[in-house]
Structure 1
Amino acid sequence: MATVPNRWWALPVVLVAVFMTTLDFFIANVAVPSMRAGLPADGSQAQLVIAGYGLAYAAGLVVAGRLGDLHGPRRVFAAGLALFTLASAACGAAPGAWALILARVVQGVAAALLAPQVLTLLGGLYRGADRARAFGWYGTAVGLAGVSGQVIGGLLIAADPWELGWRACFLVNVPLGLLALAVTPRLVPAVPPASAHLPAPSPSPAREPRRRAGGARRGAGLDVAGGGLDVAGAGMVAAGLVAVVLPLAQGREQGWPAWTWLCLAASVPLLAGFARRQRRLAAAGRQPLLDLDVFGEKGFAGGLVAVALLFGGSAGLSFVLALYLQEGLGLGPAAAGAVCTALNAGFLAGSSRTAALARRLGAGVPLVGAATLLLGLLLLHHVMAGAGDGVAYQVAGTLLVTGAGMGLLMSPLISTTLARVRPERSGAAAGVLGTVQETGGVLGGTLTGTVLLGSLESGWETAARAGLAVPAVCALGVLAVTALALRRAPGGRRAPVDSQAARACR
């Protein structure tokens, strides 16, 4: 592919979108107490404000990846950015709880439209060392947004600009979104859709009459044989993902009623049927909604497991900190945010060292990051047993170590998971990765909340330490997966993170 002029100007534009959509998942947790009092909203409605976003996000990612393949990633990126900005304004202006929930669902749909296009754009605009560096910055943006929710949300609510209160947590997206949308046509080059890399379908002669009979539907862009959107497959995967994420998000709050277990059971045939349909379409020479061969890309499946565990642990840690600092230690939103700046500082310090460590350790960098993350969580578990005014400072100290582990791990892990995926599968890979991130986050947050809230009778210190065990187990899982991947790498510890990973985050 020829070099795209000024391609580096595109990077901050797409990373702004990444930061906003990731931050919005975490910042809403901080706004919940003020939101419940201001709207007002009951506990179930407050949960839906969080879950509605994650649910729509997870359910729409695979379809959004295919839309980018069909219509071009820049066009779908711009549409998603416009919708996200509009939905953020609707969230900030919501007159009641159900209006806010609806706006959050629309926000999740818009975030789903954006996420796969960002990864496809990065894969299409950059090659070799530049591609590794771009994915490294992507990982940094995702990680920084994830650890910044408590800080930014707390500061916005405490500052209370123009007496907006919790609404400022959503309205802050509007100027950023409008600015990014205004410069997208000029700074983000058009990248051919992934379908341009694929050969035209070649159905057998026996299928030719049936193909001609479907001409009208092809004209509408919905015929699978013509390379359009697989509407039936889209419905199956969306329903299957909703059946997984919805009960996980709402089950704990409602006491795990029968419908949650029925949904989880129904997700199995839905997702299995979707997979069978995609394989049949591919075998028939048609373009499936999701190219399942992407799971055979080198390192992709193992990377997905590690990413799911990492985001599950991150969401669980965010849940523990949001409750422990404010309700356990009695800190206000601003003070809790100040403590959490240590997590940000550690993350930035760790991510800034990945390039130097990659030159010395190669593929061993994610292993070092996972070990550092686990150490930080174990130290945090220890200091949470203490009492007195000094506990908050001790928590901040352990968060420096935890954040450094996340910083060392996030960029190399995402880079190695995506950088070797072939261009024609970039849309599929992006949709799958985003789905795994979101589902992993919902699962990690749900498990952590179940454990923590179930232990409250024993006091906040015991409950917080019990809840923290879930992120610690996730970090241990990431450590095991990265160690296994390093052992299987042809060059062992000295093998590069990817083709040029030593410069991924320089």
Structure 2
Amino acid sequence: MIALPVVLVAVYMTTLDFFVANLAVPSIRTDLGADDAAVQLVIAGYGLAYAASLIVSGRLGDLYGHRRVFAAGLALFTLASAACGLAPDAVSLVAARVAQGVAAALLAPQVLALLGVMYEGAALARAFTWYGSAVGLAGVSGQAIGGLLVAADPLELGWRACFLVNVPIGAAALALTGRLLPRTGGSGTRRDLDLAGAALVGAGLVAVVLPLVEGREQGWPPWTWLCLAGAAPILAAFVRRQRRLAAAGRAPLLDLAVFEERGFAAGLVAVALLFGTSAGLSFVLALYLQEGLRLGPLAAGAVCTALNAGFLLGALRAGRVPPIVAASVVLLGLGLLGHFVGAAPYQVALALLVTGAGMGLLMSPLISSVLSGVRPERAGAAAGVLGTVQEAGGVLGGTVTGAAFFGALDGGWDAATLAGVAVLVTGALGVLAYAVRMTVSRTGRATAVAPRRRGRRRAAGCRQGAEGRW
């Protein structure tokens, strides 16, 4: 497990940067004289570049080696973070944020592929537990850390500290990459990379994500609907091209056969729902705690700490609790949150503690279950698709939750929060349905195999294996 901290540092930094800049926006606006459009691109540019680059990055890892692409991504992320922190104006900051997003996309699929190469069996399960913990903890603590850095103002850096903090951490991780991470595959050439397919999938994903990110802020102008309408034919053209390449015996950018792997497609839906629920919850809390309950930033951050604490506690037990129970805990927490709308902040914190614990119990087993049935040669492609679904699910979850929230705002903050929580409960129910399906499926396979096993010890081992992995 000595190499695990290196990849987890990359996971934590890249996930954290989705959220860490949110509370720095007022300072960025004042310091750089940025207008509303520029400030929105500082936040959205990172996510857009990340989503548009993930599938290509997964293919790059398969072609050129996961460690090599990981090192390149880590170097670019560190340099881009320095560029963000030193940006003299808003345009430079937006460009650096886009570069950060591309670098994060280079890293994400390689992390999942490297974990599959470095570990197996129980060690792989533990590695995925730590991976899920890093992703979730960065997600739920990002805004708090950003606010703390801006408030503490180390070396009088102000908002720049949110980005510059990545530089020494990234440099240290990069120095250890060559020593600790194994070489994996990578015998491709530039001719093996489908550049036309990369352009199509990038354009299609931007056409989906950009209007979802910007639409609500701008009142859903006509261009947002045109983008969403255009995304379908662009992505359809990408799929047709990949099928043609495969039929001609050439290597496609995305091996569509990955969607035929056991449980992969259904697992992607569950991942999208879970990440959408998490993003939607962050959106509701940001508004309800400060506007609805009139809490100051520090008090609101203290309440949100309960979500972080619950996630950490749950992550430490991930894999030891049946997925049905974990998904049920998320539902219980969200139900308590709905019940405590309008109540004292400590009661809201209790609901968040339970919700966070459920998410911590669920995150890493869910990701592990999606990738466990994928063949090694498709690991990069699967990881790229998984990362894309995580990002798109988060954006879509925040958008749908926001629409429900603002749609009910005429009835007051409590009514709006209840409407948002109702959307989150619906998403959590979808994840629970997936957990039930997977449990029934695995139980059925274990029952079918059991009669062919001889001896009580073998039968017990078979049952233990079926229960120990999702």
TM-score of the aligned structures, taking structure 2 as reference length: 0.91
Q: Which moved more, 1:484-493 or 1:90-99?
A: 484-493
Q: 1:56 aligns with which of 40, 46, 49?
A: 49
Q: Does 1:459 pair with 2:412?
A: yes
CA distance in 2, matches of 1:310, 1:15: 21
Q: What one-letter code is carried by the residue in structure 2 that aligns with 1:298?
A: R
CA contact (8 A) 1:116 1:427 kept: yes
Which residue is 1:478 aligned to? Answer: 431
Q: 2:139 aligns with which of 135, 146, 161?
A: 146
Which residue is 2:381 aligned to? Answer: 428
Q: What one-letter code is carried by the residue in structure 2 that aligns with 1:425?
A: R
Which residue is 1:214 aligned to? Answer: none
Which residue is 1:381 aligned to? Answer: 338
Shift of 1:498: 11
CA distance in 2, matches of 1:24, 1:499: 37
Shift of 1:381: 1.8
Which residue is 1:367 aligned to? Answer: 324
Q: Deviations over 1:359-398 (max 9, x none)?
A: xxxxxx2221111111111211221223xxxx22111111
CA contact (8 A) 1:150 1:336 kept: no
CA distance in 2, matches of 1:49, 1:333: 21
Which residue is 1:487 aligned to? Answer: 440
- Structure 1, unaligned stretches of length 5 or more? 1-7, 197-220, 358-364
**Larger RCO of the pair (alpha carbons < 8 Å, separation 6+):** 1
CA contact (8 A) 1:150 1:322 kept: no
Shift of 1:439: 0.5
RMSD: 2.3
Shift of 1:443: 0.8
Shift of 1:266: 1.1
Q: 2:399 aligns with which of 446, 451, 469?
A: 446
CA contact (8 A) 1:30 1:322 kept: no
CA contact (8 A) 1:62 1:431 kept: yes
CA distance in 2, matches of 1:30, 1:497: 49
Q: 1:416 aligns with which of 369, 376, 397?
A: 369
Which residue is 1:395 aligned to? Answer: 348
Shift of 1:490: 4.1
Q: 1:127 aligns with which of 120, 124, 128?
A: 120
3-state SS of the aligned residue for 1:252? coil
1:1-150 map, 5 Å:
8-150=1-143
Q: What one-letter code is carried by the residue in structure 2 that aligns with 1:13?
A: V
- Cα distance, 1:258–1:457 mapped onto 2, change above 3 Å: same
CA distance in 1, matches of 2:421, 2:446: 30
3-state SS of the aligned residue for 2:241? helix
CA contact (8 A) 1:351 1:408 kept: yes
CA distance in 1, matches of 2:22, 2:429: 25
Q: What one-letter code is carried by the residue in structure 1 that aligns with 2:273?
A: L
Q: What one-letter code is carried by the residue in structure 2 that aligns with 1:396?
A: A
Which residue is 1:360 aligned to? Answer: none
Shift of 1:449: 2.3
Q: Does 1:237 pair with 2:218?
A: no
Q: What one-letter code is carried by the residue in structure 2 that aligns with 1:465?
A: L
CA contact (8 A) 1:302 1:481 kept: yes
Which residue is 1:189 aligned to? Answer: 182
3-state SS of the aligned residue for 1:170? helix
- Cα distance, 1:497–1:481 mapped onto 2, change above 3 Å: farther
CA distance in 2, matches of 1:192, 1:441: 31
CA distance in 2, matches of 1:493, 1:46: 54
1:264-413 map, 5 Å:
264-357=228-321, 365-386=322-343, 391-413=344-366
CA distance in 2, matches of 1:454, 1:72: 48
CA distance in 2, matches of 1:41, 1:370: 42
- Cα distance, 1:40–1:472 mapped onto 2, change above 3 Å: farther
Q: What one-letter code is carried by the residue in structure 1 that aligns with 2:380?
A: G
- Cα distance, 1:46–1:145 mapped onto 2, change above 3 Å: same
CA distance in 2, matches of 1:501, 1:168: 45
- Cα distance, 1:36–1:321 mapped onto 2, change above 3 Å: farther
Q: What one-letter code is carried by the residue in structure 1 that aligns with 2:84?
A: C
CA contact (8 A) 1:135 1:419 kept: no
Which residue is 1:205 aligned to? Answer: none
CA distance in 1, matches of 2:18, 2:393: 13
Shift of 1:141: 1.3
3-state SS of the aligned residue for 1:237? helix
- Cα distance, 1:397–1:296 mapped onto 2, change above 3 Å: same
3-state SS of the aligned residue for 2:238? helix
Q: Deviations over 1:207-247 (max 9, x none)?
A: xxxxxxxxxxxxxx443xxxx10011111111111111111
Q: 1:253 aligns with which of 217, 224, 228?
A: 217
CA distance in 2, matches of 1:46, 1:440: 23
Q: What one-letter code is carried by the residue in structure 2 that aligns with 1:284?
A: A
CA contact (8 A) 1:325 1:336 kept: yes
Shift of 1:83: 0.9
Which residue is 2:468 aligned to? Answer: 502
CA distance in 2, matches of 1:25, 1:375: 27
Q: What one-letter code is carried by the residue in structure 2 that aligns with 1:306?
A: A
3-state SS of the aligned residue for 2:215? helix
CA contact (8 A) 1:29 1:322 kept: no
What is the number of equivalent residue pairs in this alignment? 457
Q: What one-letter code is carried by the residue in structure 2 that aligns with 1:382?
A: H
Which residue is 1:216 aligned to? Answer: none
CA contact (8 A) 1:9 1:188 kept: no
CA contact (8 A) 2:442 2:466 kept: no
CA distance in 1, matches of 2:160, 2:419: 32
CA contact (8 A) 1:151 1:336 kept: no
CA distance in 2, matches of 1:263, 1:115: 26
Which residue is 1:208 aligned to? Answer: none
- Cα distance, 1:102–1:346 mapped onto 2, change above 3 Å: same
- Cα distance, 1:491–1:349 mapped onto 2, change above 3 Å: farther
- Structure 2, unaligned stretches of length 5 or more? 450-461
Aligned sequence identity (%) = 69
Shift of 1:326: 2.8
- Cα distance, 1:40–1:452 mapped onto 2, change above 3 Å: farther
Q: Deviations over 1:382-431 (max 9, x none)?
A: 21223xxxx22111111110001101110110111112211100011000
Q: Which moved more, 1:443-452 or 1:106-115?
A: 443-452
- Cα distance, 1:464–1:34 mapped onto 2, change above 3 Å: farther
